[in-house]
Structure 1
């Protein structure tokens, strides 16, 4: 949602559609967690990045709403993938097939993590989510505001789930 704020000066009339596209682009890569190989099947940092640059080039010369909407969808998807690179793995729930957290399809290998944040769902992860939500919450109203609230609610629930899972796992381990 923070990314979608960049449209407010450039194309303010597209605020709602851009926020919606950025929201769905930001969550899209994680749909692979439900059925496929997480952080590999729908995480395409290189390809999303290339498509984002192409759409940005088109958006500069085009007045197309579809181009701008696509730009924010793919830009948010790319950002999602790039930020995964900085989040550590908390085994077994974040287990990957490789030694990394980000799969680079063109190279055919896993990379990372740089581990600025301990793991997805950690207190540091939640703190970053809260801090990144502040500007959209202060600026937006209507749909973009509620999408930010939804994102923040999801982050808090995910943090609670991971905390509960960790507690349950630690309390069931033999002493």
Structure 2
């Protein structure tokens, strides 16, 4: 799934705080956003493996959620929502496309790495690829309750994220074709720093 979908899902986890603990809502929403974003910081260093932990994030998030419920505070709520956002991101990646330049072709057997079992989880393609129409539909669905509940800067963040999702969806396939043309021109010394999907494209040329 695309990054906008992940960060909106992370924010949505915190949405109940707007009603039940409004004094903690802002920190929870920001933490959920950052947690949804965090795993994809591994894009250039072992994407969907280095910072993706579907099992461990989920277990830790459960513990932190209990702590936040037992002793709600800025720290406990922020920690719980950050880790739960990262867990949701890591788990949901198994329901998207695989790790390849054109994931709609369905040639990859790697969706996300399971460190607990020490193996790659195969893509289940509930969402065919990041930026697919159904991915955008998820972003829209996640954003609607947030747009209803929030105001001020947080609402602008949600609206801006939704715009990014729409633009990415329109450009997704074109970006892959552009990458296929540009990557072979990258100097060999930089190849080790490319994500695997791009390095593979270079080696095919």
Q: Which runs of 5+ in 1 are unaligned?
A: none
CA contact (8 A) 1:90 1:120 kept: no
Residue 46 (structure 1) aligns with: 55
* Structure having the larger proportion of residues in helix: 2
Report the alpha carbon displacement of residue 45 of structure 1 after superposing the two structures with TM: 1.3
Q: Distance in 2 between matches of 1:80 and 1:90?
A: 15
Moved more, 105-114 or 149-158: 149-158
Q: Distance in 1 between matches of 2:25 and 2:159?
A: 16
Q: Distance in 1 between matches of 2:130 and 2:19?
A: 33
Out of 145, 166, 175, which is 1:135 matched to? 145
Q: Counterparts in 2 of 1:1-175, with a 5 A limit?
A: 1-33=11-43, 35-89=44-98, 91-92=100-101, 99-166=109-176
Q: Distance in 2 between matches of 1:93 and 1:170?
A: 10
Report the alpha carbon displacement of residue 47 of structure 1 after superposing the two structures with TM: 1.3
Q: How does the TM-score come out when normalised to structure 1?
A: 0.85
CA contact (8 A) 1:18 1:69 kept: yes
Moved more, 41-50 or 81-90: 81-90
Q: Structure 1, residues 113-134: CA drift from partner, whole Å, max 9, x if none? A: 1111110111221121112111
CA contact (8 A) 2:146 2:158 kept: yes
Q: How does the TM-score come out when normalised to structure 2?
A: 0.74
CA contact (8 A) 2:18 2:149 kept: no
Aligned residues: 167
Q: Alignment RMSD, CA only? A: 2.2
Report the alpha carbon displacement of residue 166 of structure 1 after superposing the two structures with TM: 4.7
Q: Which runs of 5+ in 2 are unaligned?
A: 1-10, 182-205
SS in 2 for 1:2: helix
